[in-house]
A and B are shown apart, each in its own frame.
Chain A
Amino acid sequence: MENILIKFIGLFRKLYESAGINFDQLQAIVRTKLMMDNRRGSASFIQGRYQSKESNSKFLFVLILYVLLGAITSIFMGIGGLLGIAIVHSFILTFLSLTLVSDYSSVLLDTADMSILMPRPVDSKTLFAARLTHISLYVGLITLAISFVPMIVAGVKYGMIGCIIFFISALLMGIFAVFFTSLVYLLLFRFTSEERLRDIINYVQIGMAIFFYAGSQIFPRLFRFGDFKNVTNDYHWWHYLLPPMWMSAPLDAFIHNTFDVHHLILTTECFVMPIMGLWIVNRYFSPYFNEKLAILSTDTEGVRVEKKNETQKQKATSDSLISRIAAFIASSPVENGAFNFVWYQLGRDRKLKLRLYPQMAYSIVMLVILSLPFIDKNDFHGALKEAAESKIYLMYIYLGTSMILGAMQMIAYSDDYKAAWIYYALPIEKPGEILLGTHKALIMRFMTPICVIVSIFLLFVWGYEIVDDLVFGYANVLIISLIIATEGRIYYPFSEALSGQTDSGNSARGFMTLFFFGIIGGIHYVCTFVPYLILGLIPVQLFIVRYLLKKYKNIPDRFISSAYE
């Protein structure tokens, strides 16, 4: 892919050279950047999954995904009207901005550039042109990918000219997205520290992963409102503030052959705003960013140490509640140490968060999806009442908490797996205590919050009669998690290299888990028909839990898989 793009830039060699730019250097920089884009992929798509395979076409893969996303949005294009086109444009803006935010550090401002390119004889003009070219190609390709199918639809519906108009407005939208993202970053830079900024980027990446998942699940289910074609084109003043409206005006004007004041103003905005935005970024933002970057990349250790202390102090006070909980549920020193260690890692390790939190959100999204059939009905209260008579709440109990198993599996992996030497170097009498502390931290972090939220919701709909079912159900999940923990492959937390993981094995295991939970849920369902059976079973469960905890704690270290040699 790089070669085609490099050839494409080659067409403009004369133009670059006439501007006093060293074209060979520019070509080398752009080629390298594209090559790295293709190996890195998009953080939100690839990192959230498994970065095991070395691939030279990750960016290409991302682009194909965007084409598919664009295909979904083209439905709105088919519906047509100013609003329909505006919706397609708003998708382009959203996708592009989100992508740019999550990939910002490697595309729009790369701190590595400062130390790698700065010592070389590259003048700032060439560097700037190379950066601009790279960003343009990057943004242009994503825009092209998203608007590819809508473009075809536009071409079929409105002819060649319509297609071209749409494409030009889409590209303008791309430029606007760059401005918009830079503005967001400018604000982030202004009000947050570098460390916090990295966290925010991390959350955006997590959000992206969830958004795409939820979108792909929920979006097709929402397609029942074919009727907004009939929305009358009322004009409001705030239309002039909405970028998607600007961008869709030219095509709409062309289709309906209406060139009234409204369309003219919007069309003017369509061309003026992105170009003005680009000018502002270039004139005001870039110097500011460069200055900020210079500060970030030079070592002003003294200043940084001071700042760190501040944030750590804040952390210490907010963590005191959890350390009290830890002291209560994991009382032995080793167990307590493991609990706190895992808890901190879960809150701070960005890559771990990127792997785990989308999963947590997936199970919530699943719950929402499964609830949609109820919400669909016009009579919401009737639907609730109908649900309250069923035993559908069992599904919520089991499904919501099933993600603990995924988290259990993920916790073994880390980029810092080499740090696991401590488990082998320290005189640990009962390795099981470390595993147990880890397990308890996971339960606290992932199962307890979901339990609380789901319980409140269920008690609200079904009332106090289901308290015994809640206890029974959660105890079952706890028992299952402990059985899997003791019987499956056992690892120390964060002790395995990530590359050993395979995607297919994971989803297979996911299905197995669902199947298993289905059976347990079924048994639970049958039990509800025998009065007082569940109440009677709860003490038995307590006994089993106690037994399993003890077994896990005393697990001999030869059962623990070791990657450490």
Chain B
Amino acid sequence: MVISIKNLHKSYGSNHILRGINLDVEPGKIIGYIGPNGAGKSTTIKILTGIIPDFEGDVSVLGMDVRENPIDVKRRIGFIPENAMLYESLTPIEYLTFIGQLHSLPVEDITRKSQNLLQVFGLYDVKDNRMTTFSKGMRQKVLLISGMIHNPEIIFLDEPLSGLDANSVILVKEILMKLKEEGKTIFYSSHIMDVVEKISDRIVLIDKGWIIANGSFDELQASSKSSLEELFSKMTGNQETDKKANDFLDALKY
């Protein structure tokens, strides 16, 4: 098991975000972590990556307790956060060099690698421009590179596809598949259900701080043949979308 979560609880004040998550992940798998807004997806990922140290329960990544050895964990994993937070007054090369240095990689290696990776994403021409002028998709690409530049064993991605155009979505999808073939573990959250449906080996659905479904897409489908989107809305108790849509139209009229 590369990831093992036992009875994970987390709350902010009186606000219970996670209410007992239990999850084991075997190596070389792609895990799609889905759930409605505010279900606790980001919080789980932040705990797994050692960013949030105070929580209840036992969490180990690559066999190490994330509370005891956060630095060793962080050395071997990659994290791509959801809100495109980066130092935008830097250029992509400067930013990636900085991140690489924090991982104690030699500067020449980082520069070469960064240039090649930027080339793949079509950002080579703007590699020396400050990122203040970058679109959301361009920033997301830089973030993707920065999360993987140290060749991590597990990659955590929080909404990795937001802001990317269709071709880039396909490219990232392919990259994730190839990384899996290399034996890497991918743990990602997303709202784009058909992507999750296609590339995930296992889908974990959480709602209100609980895991309510956990299995391959075929297993989830076992009871009824429907798309992940329909399953999602059924399981998160949101079957009234039809009524809501009607209410919406009514409200427009009056």
Indicate with 1 or 0, residue by residue over B123-140, a CB within 8 angstroms of chain A CB atoms.
000000010000000000
Task: List the one stretch of A251-259, A299-307, A390-398, A517-525 in contact with chain B.
Answer: A299-307
B98 — which chain A residues lie within 8 A by C-beta? 28-29, 31-32
Residues A298 and B89 in contact, CB atoms below 8 Å apart: no
User: Are A300 and B74 interface neighbours, CB within 8 A?
Assistant: no
Bound Cα distance A187, B62 (Å): 43
Q: Chain A CB within 10 Å — which of B74, B83, B130 has the most? A: B74
Contact B38 A117 (CB under 8 A): no
CB atoms of B51 and A118 under 8 A apart: yes
Which residues of chain A from 296 to 333 have a CB within 8 Å of any chain B CB?
A: 298-303
Within the assembled complex, what's the spacing in Å between the Cα atoms of A24 and B86?
21
B102 lies within 8 A of A36 (CB): no
For B49, give the chain A residue with the smallest CB separation: A119
The residue of chain B having its C-beta at the shortest distance from the C-beta of A31 within the complex is B98
Interface residues on chain A, size class: 20 to 34
Interface contact A25-B49, CB-CB below 8 Å: no
User: What's the nearest-Cβ distance from chain A to residue B57, in Å?
Assistant: 18
Interface size in chain B (residues, C-beta < 8 A) = 32
B103 contacts A120, C-beta separation under 8 Å: yes
Residues on the A chain within 8 Å of B87, using CB: 32, 36, 112, 116
The prevalent SS among residues of A at the interface is helix
Q: Please, which residues of chain B bring their CB within 8 A of the CB of A117?
A: 102
- The answer to the question of B81 belonging to the interface, with a C-beta cut-off of 8 Å to chain A, is yes
Interface residues in A243-301 (C-beta closer than 8 Å to B): 294-295, 298-301
CA distance A115 to B98 in the complex (A): 15
Q: A300 contacts which of B12, B75, B104, B130 (Cβ < 8 Å)? A: B12
Q: What residues of B have a CB within 8 angstroms of the CB of A118 in the complex?
A: 51
Q: Judge whether B85 and A116 touch: CB under 8 Å.
A: yes
Render B68-88 as a binary contact track against A, CB cut-off 8 A, 1 for contact.
Answer: 000110110001010101110
- A121 at the B interface (CB under 8 A): yes
Residues of A within 8 Å of B103, CB to CB, are 120-121
Q: Give chain B residues whose Cβ lies under 8 Å from the Cβ of A302.
A: 15, 38
Q: B37 — which chain A residues lie within 8 A by C-beta?
A: 301
Contacts of B130 in A (CB 8 A): 39, 54
- Among B49-65, those with CB < 8 Å from A are 49-52
Contact with B along A27-44 (1 / 0, CB 8 A): 111011001100110000
* Interface residue from A36, A40, A115, A121 paired with B71 (Cβ < 8 Å): A121
Ordered by A's residue number, 14 sampled pairs between the chains whose C-beta atoms are within 8 Å are A27-B101, A32-B90, A35-B90, A39-B89, A39-B130, A40-B89, A112-B87, A115-B85, A116-B85, A119-B51, A121-B102, A301-B37, A303-B12, A303-B15
The 9 closest A-B pairs by CB, nearest first: A28-B101, A119-B79, A121-B75, A121-B74, A115-B85, A39-B89, A120-B102, A118-B51, A32-B98
13 further A-B pairs in the complex, CB-CB below 8 A; given A27-B101, A121-B102: A24-B101, A25-B104, A28-B101, A35-B89, A112-B85, A115-B85, A117-B102, A119-B49, A119-B74, A120-B102, A121-B103, A298-B52, A302-B15
